[in-house]
Structure formats: C-alpha cells, structure tokens
Amino acid sequence: MRISVPTEVKNHEYRVAITPVGVNELTRRGHQVFVQAGAGLGSSITDEEYAAQGATILPDAATTWSAGEMVMKVKEPVEPEYGYLRDDLLLFTYLHLAADRALTEALLAAGTTSLAYETVQLPSGMLPLLYPMSEVAGCLAPQVGAHSMMKAAGGRGVLMGAVGGVPNARVVVLGGGVAGQNAANIALGMGANVTILDTDLEKLRMTFWRYDNRIQGIVSTALSVREQVLAADLVISTVLIPGARAPKLVTHDMVAQMKPGSVLVDVAIDQGGCFEDSRPTTHADPTFTVHQSVFYCVANMPGAVPNTSTWALTNATLPYAVQLAEKGWRRACDESQPLALGLNTVGGAVTCSGVSAAFTDLPSTSVRSVLD
C-alpha cells in the first residue's frame, strides 16, 4: 500500500502521524511511505531520518495527499485540506465528526472512507488510539489551568498548593477516565485539593485505592456537579461518549455563580465540550472570559508537547496501520471489530452511530452493510 503523511496545518500543531520507527515497520513489509518535507520538524524529526528508514520525501501537501492510498494524519482535515479528499482515499486520523458538521459533509461529498482514531474500540470499552493523547491532555490540563489561575493571565491569583497556612486550590475533575485520572494525579502532585466526579462507581473506587483516599470521589449527578463547580477554583472536564458529542454538564448560569477568576479547562472540546459556553480555541489564543471566569478550550492540547505526543501516538496507531496496509480497509475491518468501529464514513454515508445521532439529516448506513 502507498501511505502518505502530510504536514499538520492546524494552529500550532507540531505533531506528525508517524515516526521513523513506524516508517521502518511499514517499508520493511513492502509498503511505500511518502512524507511531506518538514512534516516531522515540529516533533524534532528530520526528513533525513525518515528517508534513512525508506520514506520518500515529497515537496508539498498536494503531492503528498495524492500519492497515498491511505493518508495518516494526527488532526482532522481543516477547510484548506478538503480539496484533497477523494473517493479512493482511506483517511486514518482523529476526526471528532460529531462536533464538526462541515468536515462530515466534506467527507461525504468526496466519498472518502474515513477511519477515526477516537472510535476504534476494544471489547473492554477501551479506546486504544485515544488513550495516549488522553494521558497527555490529562497531564497538561492542571498545568494550563494553574497558569490561567495566575492574576496576570486573568485568573484568581491562586497557587495550586503547598504553601503552609494558606488553603490549597480546589480542583474539580469531571470524568474519571484516562484523562480525568491523569489530570487528578498531576493536580494532586501540584498540591491541590482534588475531587473527581463520575457516574461509574468502579472508577471512583479505583481512585480511592490508587490515591490512598487523598482524592475525593463523588458520584456525578446534576446537583453534585453544581455544588462542586461553584466551590472550585479550577474545573477540568474530561467526559467522553465515544464518537458522540460530549454532554453539557456546566451551564452558563452555573458559570455566572462561580468564583470570579475561576478557570475552566475543557479537555472534551474536540467532541463539542462539556461546558455550555465552550468554543474551540488555539494555542495562539487559548483563553476567553465568560462572566468573570476564564475558559481554556484548545482543541489540540497534546500538540503543545509534540516530542512526547508523536511517539506516544505512533506506538498506539502503528499496529492498526499495519493491519490496514497489509489487508486493505475492508478485510481489516471485517476481521477486526475494533477497527470496524473506527469507520466513520464510507461511500458518501456516515457509518458511526454517534455521528449519525449528531446529524440525523445526513445519509447513514451500518458498518455491517458496507462490509458485507
């Protein structure tokens, strides 16, 4: 198979979809890998390192996209890239379509087969290709939250903790999954008083034992969310419904009653966000104010630490990329239920139930029907 890796063009996105290790694994199996010139520089990977493992370096985006039967990316295509979509292309990347009607329509119009990292799902419910970036985003959330709480950044002027005689910051994490657990861990290490809310008692029990009861776990209900959010200095949302829009847990009215200068970090913004007032921001302009609270809603948080993120992502995606390259997408998805769940669009129709629920007026079909 011919596999192309273009340069990411999203604002301050420095990750790249494959490392030289990944190139080596694919080329030694007889596949061709095309990498756009400079695609890896943001992650400190040179063209020469790719070429040494058998990649062909191409000069621009148009040439790179057209060379591949499968295009591997990190982030979803943005509008300037829509023209590269075509009906004989397999696109393998993060998509988050339930929060992006324009991209969904572009994929359907082009007839592109798209397979989303974030909806590949194991029988256990684990999302193996989302997991590493959830780890990274979770770890980053308290860091960016702590910075945003500084007075010069528009916050309350509160330190996370560790100063004798002064109350620690109160950090509330909505969601006890991978991102939530990592956010809680870092916030605890920074000295904050941390509370996790989740509807899953097993996750809350795990939090109790993992942190020796140093993090408070509370069952998430409308009332408990409201009480905890109003008392918080920093709220971090991580709630995810695979493939679907994130639930709106914090309303505009609740924000109006929060402490002046409180901070809300929406890790779930890729899927539409958990705060009613959330809207995607960029690393160049990461925050905005609602009432007197600061919102941080950067839609590609892991792009801030590309050296870590790129390697972590390739570790997870490479085995699936090999399956797709070796078997083609139809056979690979027919033989692998996790990969089949990753299919989001095929032949001008939506195949992911979460995306179909978000856009009921768009053409949709079942994965089984396109594989049979």
CA distances in angstroms from 345 to 96, 159, 242, 350, listed in the order given: 12, 46, 15, 4
Give the span between the Cα atoms of 98 and 235, in whole angstroms. Answer: 24
Give the span between the Cα atoms of 43 and 311, in whole angstroms. Answer: 9
Catalytic residue among 96, 100, 233, 266: 96
Give the span between the Cα atoms of 183 and 189, in whole angstroms. Answer: 10
CA terminus-to-terminus distance, the chain: 22
CA distances in angstroms from 43 to 46, 81, 93, 119, 123, listed in the order given: 9, 21, 17, 25, 33
344, amino acid identity: N
- Phi and psi for 236 in degrees, rounded to 5? -120, 120
**Annotation marks residue 96 as catalytic:** yes
Cβ-based neighbours of 331, under 8 Å, separated by 6 or more: none
Nearest alpha carbon to residue 59 among 41, 81, 34, 82: 34
CB neighbour burial string for 8-33, b if at least 16 within 10 angstroms, e if fewer: bebbbbbbbbbbbebbbbbbeeebbb
Catalytic residue among 100, 198, 270, 277: 270
- Phi and psi for 20 in degrees, rounded to 5? -60, -30
Q: What is the dihedral of CA 90, 279, 231, 166, to 10 degrees?
A: 90
CA distances in angstroms from 34 to 5, 71, 131, 205, 299, listed in the order given: 6, 9, 26, 47, 27
Give the span between the Cα atoms of 372 and 370, in whole angstroms. Answer: 6
Query: Pairing state of beta strands 343-346 and 113-116?
Result: antiparallel
174, amino acid identity: L
| Active site residue ranges | 96, 270
